[in-house]
Chain A
Amino acid sequence: MLTIEGLKKSYAGNDILKGISIDVNKGDVISIIGPSGSGKTTLLRTMTTLEEADGGHLTFAGVDKDFEKLTGKEVNTIRRNVGFVFQNYNLFNNKTALQNITEGLIVARKVKKSEAEKIALKALERVGLTDRKNHYPSQLSGGQQQRVGIARAIALNPEVIFFDEPTSALDPELVGEVLKVMQDLASSGTTMVVVTHQMSFARDVSNRVIFMADGHIVEQGAPKAIFEKPSEQRTKKFLTDILANV
């Protein structure tokens, strides 16, 4: 459904992504793990056109093209078909929870207001926040904000939702509520690509784990394989280190 090949990105001469290829199938829940600075965020941002890639090919939503040749129209198509959940939520600060969700529907999708509100309420219900629909982001806890962030993404019914460390800005006691929502999404068949440091999510929820280091995909496979008998030394070391620190 979504395929990238040989994705490259550099900042000021530093190669951050050195040719990444990923295949996302419908219903996949892919976890991307890897040490800090390995380029995970950059990968998500270039895949979703938030950041311009320097090279690579994309096949998605009827677009079949090299990244650098994408037209404005195609960029719009891509953005319309993906959802993005940000590490620090990025809810619209001047909009209520409900308006955060209806905004994209009304303005970008041209959905009627009443219709948009119906969709938004359904999305809020899925993340368990119906009673907070009129609250502004500053009036919500981090966990609630991130759940609104997720509701905002699912309301648009995208082909695939990208998550960039959705729980790492949260206080430990709030992580659970967000992970639970993500788990529900996964089991309902939503296609998800999740950058995460939550090894439990990678192991128990996803159907594929990608381990990245230094701008390369070092290893990928079923969670069981990666966690129990990684074939690469670096993966083993990363997993031992991170699991020792939990």
Chain B
Amino acid sequence: MSLNTDFMVKVAQTAIQGVPVTLQIVLVALVIAFPIGILFALIRIYRVKGLQRLVQFYVSLVRGTPIIAQILIVYSAFPSLLNMIIGRAAFAINPIYYAYIVFTLNAIATLTEVFRSALQTVDKGQMEAGLMVGMQPRQTFWRIILPQALISALPNIANTTLYLIKNSSLAFIMSVKDITAIAKTEAAFNYNFLEAYLVVWVYYLIICYAAEVVFYLLERYFSKYRRPIKKTSGFNWLPFGIKQPKLERKQS
């Protein structure tokens, strides 16, 4: 096989400028979607009248449609929407904001489900114990329930992050200059598409694996309370990332 390795090196050097863009999209989406996801999960769990239907509808809609369709809708609807509000300036907006919108909307739906199932794994005895030592439901939720839920959600939050990282590769459709977009432009000069995409592939593998390591460490650090003393589970380096999210629930 004759891959143009010089070209690959060159693409690797230019495409690396897209890495921060990709990370930025993922982080912004996660940070904004996190609290909203918790809120939506609570709405679902406590069956808040009116809102619960709405959240359910939203989650189902986002989950049931391809991200590309969501991108196309946001990218075509928002500029004219904004145009009505802020006038012509809307068309000069950096397209990365559209990426933020799409991926945040997307992450909210996923995280809602993640938090919903995580909150449900926390035994209701924890709330009762809190009430019986005189704490308010709200205090018990923040101090006892939510921390436990977040930790048991970590594997699924990791999955959500991986999805976001991978899906962010479609940001180029909104002319965001991310890794994929840069490589694509480079490749178009003399049709070295395969080389360019191989480089991009490696970048995504690195980013995804790095994210997995980060989440592995987070999980290790935060779930110290779930580990019986001494018995530590070693990191599974070889097939890493294949561990299934386990929503184990400590039954006492």
> Known contacts being A108-B134, A156-B133, is A93 close to B224, with CB within 8 Å?
no
Q: Which of A132-159 contact B (CB under 8 A)?
A: 135-139, 142, 145, 152-153, 156
- Cβ-defined contact, A76 with B130, below 8 A: no
Q: Is the CB of A138 within 8 A of B143?
A: no
Tell me, rounded to whole Å, the shortest Cβ–Cβ distance linking B61 to chain A.
34
> How many Å from the CB of A40 to the closest CB on chain B?
16
* Cβ contacts under 8 Å, B123 to chain A: 90
B119-131 interface bits toward A, Cβ cutoff 8 Å, 1 = contact, 0 = none: 0000101101111
B144 and A83 form a contact (CB under 8 A) = no
Q: Which of B103-136 contact A (CB under 8 A)?
A: 123, 125-126, 128-136
Task: Please tell me if the beta carbons of A84 and B132 are within 8 angstroms of each other in the complex.
Answer: yes
| Residue A18 at the chain B interface, CB threshold 8 Å | no
B residues in contact with A50, CB < 8 Å: 128, 131-132
Say whether B132 contacts A48, CB under 8 Å: yes
CA distance A156 to B129 in the complex (A): 13
Measured between beta carbons, the chain B residues less than 8 angstroms from A96 are: 225
Tell me, yes or no, whether B17 is within 8 Å of chain A by CB.
Answer: no
The secondary-structure label for the interface of chain A is mixed
Q: Quick one: CB contact mask for B194-236 with A, threshold 8 Å, 1 for yes?
A: 0000000000000000000000000000001111110000000
- Is A89 a contact of B252 with CB atoms below 8 Å? yes
Enumerate chain B residues within 8 angstroms of A94, measured Cβ to Cβ: 144, 147-148, 151, 225
Asked if A246 is an interface residue, CB under 8 A from chain B, the answer is no
Residues of A within 8 A of B144 (CB): 92, 94-95, 103
**CA gap between A88 and B249 in the complex, in Å:** 14
Assembly CA distance A90 to B126 (angstroms): 6
A82 B132 Cβ-Cβ under 8 A:
yes
Residue A32 CB within 8 A of the other chain? no
What is the chain A residue whose CB lies nearest that of B134? A108
One of B134, B136, B147, B229 near A109 (C-beta < 8 A): B134
The residues of A that contact B134 with a CB separation of less than 8 Å are 76, 79-80, 104, 108-109, 156
**A104 & B135 in contact (Cβ 8 Å cutoff):** yes
Give Cα A48–Cα B131 distance, bound, in whole angstroms.
10
A86 engages B135 (CB within 8 Å): no
- Chain B residues with CB under 8 Å of A83's CB are 132
B130 engages A92 (CB within 8 Å) = yes
Q: Tell me, rounded to whole Å, the shortest Cβ–Cβ distance linking A148 to chain B.
A: 11
Interface size band for B? 20 to 34
B135, A103: Cβ atoms under 8 Å? yes
Per-residue CB contact flags for chain A residues 26-38 toward chain B (1 = under 8 Å, else 0) read 0000000000000
* Interfacial chain B residues near A92, Cβ < 8 Å: 126, 129-130, 144
Q: A91: CB under 8 A from chain B?
A: yes
Do B125 and A88 touch across chains, with their CB atoms under 8 A apart?
A: yes
A243 touches B (CB below 8 Å): no
Q: Does B250 contact A (CB under 8 A)?
A: yes
Q: Which residues of A contact B126 (CB under 8 A)?
A: 90, 92-93
Chain A CB within 10 Å, residue with most, of B136, B151, B225: B225
Within 8 A of B (CB), among A181-207: none
| Alpha-carbon gap, A108 to B144, bound state (A) | 13
Whether A138 touches B129, Cβ cut-off 8 Å, given contacts A104-B135, A107-B143, is: no
Contact A137 B135 (CB under 8 A): no
A169 within 8 A of B: yes
A141 to chain B, nearest CB (A): 11
Distance in Å: Cβ of B124 to nearest Cβ of chain A: 9
- CB of B139 closer than 8 Å to a CB of A: yes
A212 to chain B, nearest CB (A): 22
Set of chain A residues within 8 Å of B136, measured between Cβ atoms? 76, 108
**Which partner residue on chain B sits nearest A101 by CB separation?**
B133
| The 4 A-B residue pairs with the shortest CB-CB distance in the complex, in nearest-first order | A104-B133, A108-B134, A90-B125, A84-B132
On A, residues with C-beta under 8 Å from B are 48, 50, 76, 79-80, 82-84, 86, 88-96, 103-104, 107-109, 135-139, 142, 145, 152-153, 156, 169
Given contacts A50-B131, A108-B135, A142-B252, 13 further A-B contacts (CB under 8 A): A80-B134, A86-B125, A88-B125, A88-B252, A90-B123, A90-B125, A90-B128, A93-B126, A94-B148, A108-B133, A139-B227, A139-B228, A156-B133
The interface of chain B, by Cβ under 8 A from chain A, is: 123, 125-126, 128-136, 139, 143-144, 147-148, 151, 224-229, 250, 252
